[in-house]
A and B are shown apart, each in its own frame.
Chain A
């Protein structure tokens, strides 16, 4: 990936992105869908777009997945 492509990828925004608040409101549902092997991103494309772009929310997703897996 060239430096232009890296910059472009960073600057590019997805109009489907629902933002942190909405994504976090359904994070538990999203995680259970993933754990069940279902298409979480397909059911919640706006959440998937957000988790792709927002580091802190993606970190929360990783944390919740780890928590559920630890049971």
Chain B
């Protein structure tokens, strides 16, 4: 099934409906403007300027930048996602809108440890990641629990000429996965490592944070390596033994 839809009509973004005073005082919680570079201080001053034209203009400028960055980012990632065409553009606009909301809500959290615009762009980049993960399941190239073990050598970057030579150790990896990992570890490891499902997509599917999935993979990698060392396939220092 190919999923493709035209971009949905875009209502007035929620960030434009935020009332005056919805952003906490930066002056109270954040650094003084003297501690910031001039551009960052200017952004903060204008975005904290109450409900007047100054603030509205700053919000328009920032949102326009976020849209531009989001469109560039989905384009940059287009080769690695099944999301295409108008849906990809829609993802970019949604990411920019949601990033804008988050930035305005967290303005008081900005502590001047980086330039303001770098801090702001981080929100939109992370929104793009998260949304592409969720949209992955509308047209997934592989289903959850497909368990394509025959693809593992490619996933690990093993040269096709070495596939036969690596068959023994990969069989041992599979044995450890089947016998030693917990059911949750096994499911996550197979989905991400064996089937190549993007980590963010699996996180969205399982309603978990990226970090939770990464931790499961981290623990599984450590457990598998310990087993391969214990069974003589790898040395503790990482040198080939068989």
Restricting to B165-224, which residues have a CB under 8 Å from any CB of A?
A: 165-166, 169-170, 173, 198-200, 209-211, 214-215, 218, 221-222, 224
Are A8 and B234 interface neighbours, CB within 8 A? yes
Confirm or deny: B88 has a beta carbon within 8 angstroms of a beta carbon on chain A: no
> How many whole Å from A17's CB to the nearest CB in chain B?
7
Confirm or deny: B135 has a beta carbon within 8 angstroms of a beta carbon on chain A: no
Are B240 and A6 interface neighbours, CB within 8 A? no
Are B210 and A7 interface neighbours, CB within 8 A? no
Nearest A residue to B121 via CB reads A67
Are A64 and B77 interface neighbours, CB within 8 A? no
Q: How far is the CA of A25 from the CA of B200 in the complex (A)?
A: 17
Which residues does chain A contribute within 8 Å of B115, judged by CB atoms? 28, 32
Are B126 and A4 interface neighbours, CB within 8 A? no
Which residues does chain B contribute within 8 Å of A66, judged by CB atoms? 72-73, 76
Q: How far is the CA of A10 from the CA of B173 in the complex (A)?
A: 12
Nearest A residue to B199 via CB reads A56
Which residues does chain B contribute within 8 Å of A26, judged by CB atoms? 113
Q: How far is the CA of A53 from the CA of B220 in the complex (A)?
A: 14
Q: Is the interface of A mostly helix, strand, loop or mixed?
A: helix
Are A3 and B169 interface neighbours, CB within 8 A? yes
Per the CB 8 Å criterion, the residue count for chain A at the interface is 39
Q: How far is the CA of A62 from the CA of B157 in the complex (A)?
A: 21
A28-B118 contact in complex given A3-B158, A10-B221, C-beta closer than 8 Å: yes
Are B234 and A70 interface neighbours, CB within 8 A? no
Q: Choose from B122, B159, B214 the contact partner of A28 (Cβ within 8 Å).
A: B122
Confirm or deny: A59 has a beta carbon within 8 angstroms of a beta carbon on chain B: yes
Q: How far is the CA of A64 from the CA of B117 in the complex (A)?
A: 11
Are B158 and A6 interface neighbours, CB within 8 A? yes
Contact string against A for B residues 100-140, beta-carbon threshold 8 Å, 1 for contact and 0 otherwise: 00000000000001110111011011101100000000000
Which residues does chain A contribute within 8 Å of B200, judged by CB atoms? 56
Nearest B residue to A68 via CB reads B118
Q: How far is the CA of A56 from the CA of B185 in the complex (A)?
A: 19
The 3 closest A-B pairs by CB, nearest first: A11-B225, A20-B211, A3-B166
Q: Told that A7-B234, A31-B114 touch, could you supply 20 new A-B pairs with CB distance under 8 A?
A: A3-B153, A4-B166, A4-B240, A6-B158, A8-B234, A9-B238, A13-B218, A20-B211, A21-B210, A21-B211, A24-B122, A28-B113, A28-B115, A31-B122, A56-B199, A63-B73, A63-B77, A63-B129, A66-B76, A67-B121
- 28 A-B pairs with CB atoms under 8 Å apart are A4-B166, A6-B157, A7-B156, A8-B238, A11-B224, A11-B228, A13-B221, A20-B214, A21-B210, A24-B126, A28-B122, A29-B113, A31-B114, A32-B118, A55-B199, A56-B214, A63-B76, A64-B118, A64-B121, A64-B122, A66-B72, A66-B73, A67-B73, A67-B125, A68-B121, A70-B68, A70-B72, A71-B117
A interface residues, Cβ below 8 angstroms from B: 2-13, 17, 19-21, 24, 26-29, 31-32, 35, 53-57, 59-60, 62-64, 66-68, 70-71
